[in-house]
Amino acid sequence: MAETTRREFMLGEGSGTGSGSQNLHVGVGPAHPAMHGIIRIVTELDGEAIVRADVEIGYLHRAFEKDCEAGGYNNAIPYTDRLNYVSPLINNFGYCAVVEKLLGIDVTERCKYIRVIMAEISRICDHLTCIGASAMELGAFTVFLYMIKAREFLWELVEDVTGARLTISYGRVGGVKADLPDGFASSVAKAFKQTREVLDEVHRLLTGNRIFMDRMVGVGVLSREETIAYAITGPLLRAVGMPYDVRRAQPYDVYDRLEFQIPTQTDGDNYARYLVRMAEMEQSMRIVEQALALIPGGPINVDFEGRPIDPASYVDLGKQGKTEGLLLVPITLSPNLQGSERPAHARVNAHDKRVVLPPKETTYGSIEGLMNHFMLIMEGYGIRPPQGEAYVAVEGANGELGFYVVSDGTDRPYRVRCRPPCLPPMAALHRMIEGEMVADLIPTFGSVNMIGGELDR
């Protein structure tokens, strides 16, 4: 507040009379418990009503797009983890899909199913966090604890598959890092059973709750025309009755083979968004269950018949020139997180030597494998898509997550643009909160589900 304004307000000098007729400027954030990260909303208040609002972003800007240009195509994958850090798997797969499109390659069937399964688990985590945090800000702390408990069950699944909980870096151009672990389907069934119990409890706690509905129904409304004009996608668009979902409109991976509904509501308020997200979690679980039932096996141990031998005798035989057939024999190496083992590798990664790192057995076991590995790791070699540009959209938890990549034919992306799904609703946030009470800012901001990592990149 400028000094003169403050004096006018405090002392009643100047044009105002000090009777409270002047609008008050209040900055919410950047460090505020309800700001889910750091963001600043400068509001102009008339009493408790918001007259104008200006949203300032950029506090979490980390030069994602610039950093991507500085390294190879694979080097960008860990950065994409940090875009939407609540559902990082979807970002991984979206980025990998655009590089695959530039290269003109396709991943294996099993890999597509794995991507669908992991992306949907991520989506449930994202919606759980969004609803849990919004409910907590309205005083329903129990819901937050329940939902974080459910998210924990799902994060344990993610941990089983990727080896990490948050910054998973699981996607690979041409595949995924590793195959699903043994017994994954049964642990999914167990986790989903517990998640469904939690969702049921939350439904009973919130969906007819007088206090919750008073704060959510009719609050933060955005008309259908404005939602579209602001290019808002995801749950916010479906909450105004437009059943647009990239998974259905332009199916990628194997979404066209799976049955699921696109939940919609018509009111476009915070409550409609809540209902859409609650319904979507059930649909995501349906998708995962179908995908787990349909997932194909792919070749495993078919090409590798023969008695396992230890690496020492492998080398000895090689010295004697007896190399014929040796490559077909699996050698035992300790599994590591850097490369996948050959049988699993063949199932989940595309068979394209320009793109996919060979499994460690091949890298250390044959000169061709070593050369192939070298060509993909060395600076100036690596993945080199032909010159051109491509845009790929996937359905992120907040809406259409787009990647636009320009290739100049070298091993580094010339330009990587991420179209963050929560930027359009943030650009329209002032339209949702202007004219409402300052307390309504909190649930509306919560329903937008701003994720600083992808908003500011």
Q: Tell me the closest approach of the beta carbon of residue 90 to other proteins, in angstroms.
A: 17
Query: Closest separation between CB of residue 1 and other proteins, Å?
Result: 11
Shortest Å distance, C-beta 172 to other proteins: 20
Whole-number minimum distance, CB 220 to other proteins, in Å? 17
Q: With contact defined as beta carbons under 8 Å apart, do 246 and 252 qualify?
A: yes
Kindly state the DSSP code that residue 329 receives in the 8-state scheme.
Answer: S
Mention every residue, 6+ apart, whose C-beta is less than 8 A from residue 114: 176, 179, 180, 295, 348
DSSP secondary structure string, 399-435? EEEEEEEEE-SSSSEEEEEEE-TTHHHHHTHHHHHTT
Q: Please provide the size of the chain in residues.
A: 457
Q: Which is nearer to other proteins, 2 or 312 (CB)?
A: 2
* Strand duo 413-419 + 399-407: pairing: antiparallel
Q: How far is the CB of 2 from other proteins (least distance, A)?
A: 9
Whose Cβ is closer to other proteins: residue 22's or residue 250's? 250
**Closer CB to other proteins, residue 187 or residue 250?**
250
Cβ atoms of 81 and 92 closer than 8 Å: yes
Least Å from the CB of residue 233 to other proteins:
8
DSSP 181-193: PTTHHHHHHHHHH
CA atoms within 13 A on the CB side of 124: 32
Closest by Cα among 390, 388, 380 to 410: 380
Amino acid at 97: A
The CA-to-CA distance between both ends of the chain, in Å, stands at: 30
For the bound state, the minimum distance from the C-beta of residue 291 to other proteins, rounded and expressed in Å, comes to: 24
Positions touching other proteins (CB under 8 A) are: 57-58, 61, 63, 65-67, 69-70, 101-102, 104, 226, 228-231, 242, 244, 249-250, 387-391, 393, 400, 402, 404, 406, 408-409, 414-415, 417, 419, 423-424, 426-428, 456-457
Going by C-alpha positions, the residue among 198, 216, 195, 85 that lies closest to residue 139 is 216
Closest to other proteins by CB, 205 or 406: 406
Please give the DSSP secondary-structure letter assigned to residue 449: T
Residues whose CB falls within 8 Å of the CB of residue 233, separated by 6 or more in sequence, listed in order: 244, 246, 398, 399, 400, 421, 424
Of residues 365 and 425, the one with the C-beta less far from other proteins = 425
Which residue, 263 or 420, has its beta carbon nearer to other proteins?
Answer: 420
- Contact predicate 113/296, CB 8 Å: yes
Pick from 451, 393, 395, 396: nearest CA to 423: 451
SS3 percent helix, strand, coil of the chain, rounded to 5, is 50, 10, 40
- In the complex, least distance from residue 226 CB atom to other proteins, rounded to whole angstroms: 8
Residue closer to other proteins by CB (options 316, 408) is: 408
Residue 161 CB, shortest distance to other proteins, in Å, is 30
Task: State in angstroms the smallest separation of the CB of 261 from other proteins.
Answer: 18
Between 35 and 426, CB nearer to other proteins: 426
Of 54 and 156, CB closest to other proteins: 54
Residue 105 in tokens? 């390659």
Q: How far is the CB of 11 from other proteins (least distance, A)?
A: 20
Residue with Cβ nearer other proteins (330 or 424): 424
Provide the β-strand partners of residue 193: none
Helix (H) or strand (E) holding 213: helix 210-216
User: Nearer Cβ to other proteins, position 185 or 228?
Assistant: 228
Q: Are 41 and 56 in contact (CB under 8 A)?
A: yes
Residue type, 429: L
